[in-house]
Amino acid sequence: MAKGVMIVAEQRDGALRKISLELASTARKLADQTGDEVSAILLGSGIEGLAAELGKYGVDKVFVGDNAAMEPYITEAHAAVVAKVVKENDPAILLLGASVQGKDLSSRVAAKLAAGLATDCTDVKLDGGKLVAIRPLYAGKCFGEVVFNVAPAIASLRPNVFPAAENAKAGAVVKVDAAVDAASIKSKVLEVQKDTSGKVDLTEANVIVSGGRGMKGPEGYAILEELADVLKGTVGASRAAVDAGWRPQKDQVGQTGKVVSPNLYIACGISGAIQHLAGMSSSKCIVAINKDAEAPIFTKADYGVIDDLFKVVPELTAVCKKLVA
């Protein structure tokens, strides 16, 4: 009989991603309601030492697949090992992150297991011992509850939505065979281009300062960069700004970009098209700065400033500098 909660942890360059700790804490919360164990799958090369950190966040057991074939991430290789570990241990619930890697991996794993998958969930709960996953529908206009008829119930959780709280458990290491048949791998990573800016990834940022068409050009983002630096955040952009070549695609927030959930989202010169709102509406606090009082962004904003952003942002930056000094 399927039992327990299992997560698929993510690591990059030998360090756990923030979403891994969020998954561990969420799994612990669910497992405590049924008295079950929390286990994690951790794949990579030279990563066994990370198991202890997962233990700090509530993981009882870590299945470690330490193999050079697991680096860099390749869908077929990771999906094969994850599916094998899941089949051998039969968890009732399997949680992954709705990150770039998690979105790619979760669908492949669900297909291999012939199991249901709820993606980009913003909440999960138990009802009668069974998982119920809550996820946004129709670009965030409403929320649906997804129930599962077969085990494991698989859900991918939106990054930065679920809290990561320490709850020390054993984090005992169980080594698994992560060798894969080379003939089964149809893709090959030729090059990995790393972001050397030192900025926090949008999906993990606590503060995001975004600019849209109202920035009037790439040079306008200098004031947003300054404000983001003061707030220890990062800069995002609307699709219009990215399409215009003002910002790189990795900065795009929205339905066709990155879905973010920071503690603070400051939208500057962004009208608030439904595609953009779908990517940031789960932010804890939204501040909109726009000259157009009728801009749709104000319907989602907790605080709105109707004024010229080139006047407001520098003044806001000056005030923030005083507060953090």
Residue 175: its pLDDT value, please?
A: 96
- Is there a shared CATH topology between the 5-184 domain and the 202-324 domain? yes
Among 55, 61, 7, CA closest to 37 = 61
pLDDT, the chain, mean: 95
pTM, rounded to two decimals: 0.90
Residue 181: its pLDDT value, please?
A: 86
Task: Give residue 271's Cα distance to chain centre.
Answer: 25
- Give me the mean pLDDT over the 12-33 stretch: 96
Question: Could you read off the pLDDT of 282-303 as tens digits, one per residue?
Answer: 999 999 999 999 999 999 999 9
Topology of the domain covering 5-184: Rossmann fold (3.40.50)
Q: Which amino acid is at 114?
A: A
Query: Is the confidence at residue 197, as pLDDT, over 80?
Result: no
Q: How confident is the model at residue 196 (pLDDT cuts 50, 70, 90)?
A: confident
First-residue to last-residue Cα distance in the chain: 57
- Give me the mean pLDDT over the 92-104 stretch: 97
Residue 67: count of CB within 10 angstroms of its CB: 18
Query: Is the confidence at residue 112, as pLDDT, over 80?
Result: yes
- Give me the mean pLDDT over the 76-101 stretch: 97
- Give me the mean pLDDT over the 111-135 stretch: 96
Question: Could you read off the pLDDT of 246-282 as tens digits, one per residue?
Answer: 999 999 999 999 999 999 999 999 999 999 999 999 9
Residue 140: its pLDDT value, please?
A: 85
List residues bridging with 236 in a β-sheet: 210
Q: Which CATH architecture has domain 202-324?
A: 3-Layer(aba) Sandwich (3.40)
Domains of the chain: which residue ranges?
5-184, 202-324
Distance (Å, whole) CA 250 – CA 202: 8
Distance (Å, whole) CA 296 – CA 278: 13
Question: Could you read off the pLDDT of 3-16 as tens digits, one per residue?
Answer: 999 999 999 999 99
Burial of 186-203, coded b for 16+ CB within 10 Å and e otherwise, reads eeeeeeeeeeeeebbbbb
Residue 193: its pLDDT value, please?
A: 84
